[in-house]
Every structure is written in C-alpha cells, then in structure tokens.
Structure 1
Amino acid sequence: MLDDYHVVAGTPVVNETVHFLLNNLPPNVHLCLAGRHQPPLRVERLALQAQVHDVGPQELAFEVEEVKQLLSRVNGGSIAPGLADEIAVSTECWPAGVVLAVQSARKGKGIRFGRGVPPASGGESRLYTLFYDL
C-alpha cells in the first residue's frame, strides 16, 4: 500500500520504480496506490489485462439513500424533509463530510433537524479543517 502517492508522483525515480514493480511483481502480490490524483504511470497494458482497478470519488461517495439511512439511525428514525438532501449536496456525499455535518448539527442528545447544515466557520469548524487539510 502506497498512500499519499501524489506527494511523490512528481519524482521520476519513484514512478520508474513503481512501474518496474507493477510489471515484475509475482502474481500473488498486489500493489495499491492511494492519492489525490491519477498517478503518472503507464498502466495501459495492465488495464487491458484487467489488472488495474480505479476507485475514484464517485465510488467512494455515499448515495443519497445512504445519507438518509445514517441520519435516520443517528436520530432514532425521524429526519426532517430535505435535510438529508441538503447534507448530501453540501458534502457531495463524502462519508467524512456527512459524518462531520451530522456532528456539527448535533445539539444535546440528538440532532435538531430542520435547521439546516451549519456553515463552516473558518478554522474553528472541524468540517472546514478536514476539507482544508485534504
């Protein structure tokens, strides 16, 4: 597992080494790259052999129905009309964003639905900080 590959993706020797590994590792060894951008690697041949699997933002995001299920579970079954859609739109259904939006909307023991998603308030908001750091 090579995480944050985008940090070293501009280094030719790293890309050449990873390219070599991709083409020479034994069949029982798998290499996983994670980063913010598509890595600058030549993987066309491997893709034609169905040995490359891309997982992008759409595959990682919740569906709106999953946002509704999470909100319903957190609030004991009831959610205000439109709140799940509002959170889904404002977070682009990213799981971490959805969870942080739910946490930031929480008051007391539950969530006060129907008040909308609180806006990010600069550096004091965990939601803002998370997405700023990403």
Structure 2
Amino acid sequence: MIRKIMILCLTVLLLSGCVPNEIRVENHTGENEGKAEEIFKDDTRLKAVAALFHEDQLLVGIRVKTFSRFTKRKIAKEIKKELEKEYSEMEVTVSADSKILMETSKLLDKQEEDKKIKKKIKHVISLSEEET
C-alpha cells in the first residue's frame, strides 16, 4: 500500500514539471507576430513570455526555466538578437527580469488608450535598464 502511494506521488511530481510554456503576445501594429511566437515556442529554456507590439516598440518579458536561471541575461540577449533580425524596423526590448515580465503582463491585461500604453511602455523600458 505504501509503495503504491509513493509511486503515485512520484508520478504526480514528475508530471507537474511538464506544464506547457505560457506565451502571451498582443499586437497593436501591422506586424506579423507569428515569427515572434515561433521563436518563443522553439526555445526550450523559456517558461513564460509576455510580448507587446505597440507602434515601433516590441517589449518582451521572459521567465526562464529553473536550470537556465544562471544564464538568463545571455538567453535574453540571444532572443533580442533573433527578434531584432526578424523585426529590424522596431525597437526591441527583452528582459529576463521578473518585474518586467509582471509589468508587461499587466499591460496585456489592461485595455487602455494609446497614449497611456506608450507612457507605460517607456516606464517599463526604464525599469529594464536599471541595475538590480
């Protein structure tokens, strides 16, 4: 009986680690966001992504998986480079900082005017440039 319970607990524990990646993309431009989604889905190191296309800005917050957290800045730079290649006419900001992911997610959840969104995007970008 104890052996069955332990096997059941182990199975549940292993399966809980197989949660699919959460990728949220919102587009307020005429750009094709499919390329960005493909980049995010193909990268196995990512756990969550929030991306916002607005005018000439592409704001991306990422969360990396547990064992990749020591190289999260390198991962963010690699993703930024790929996105800049695909969206050369846009200003791309990518951050692996959790506060950027959270703020970008908040922007995706709220439906606001263009002026307010642009102001908040600038605020989030300034947060990403801070040293933590």
The TM-score by the shorter chain falls in which range?
A: under 0.3
Point out the structure with the larger strand share. 2
Structure with the larger RCO, 1 or 2 (CA within 8 Å, 6+ apart): 2
TM-score with structure 1 length normalisation?
Answer: 0.27
Point out the structure with the larger helix share. 2
TM-score with structure 2 length normalisation?
Answer: 0.27
Q: Which protein is bigger by CA-based radius of gyration?
A: 1
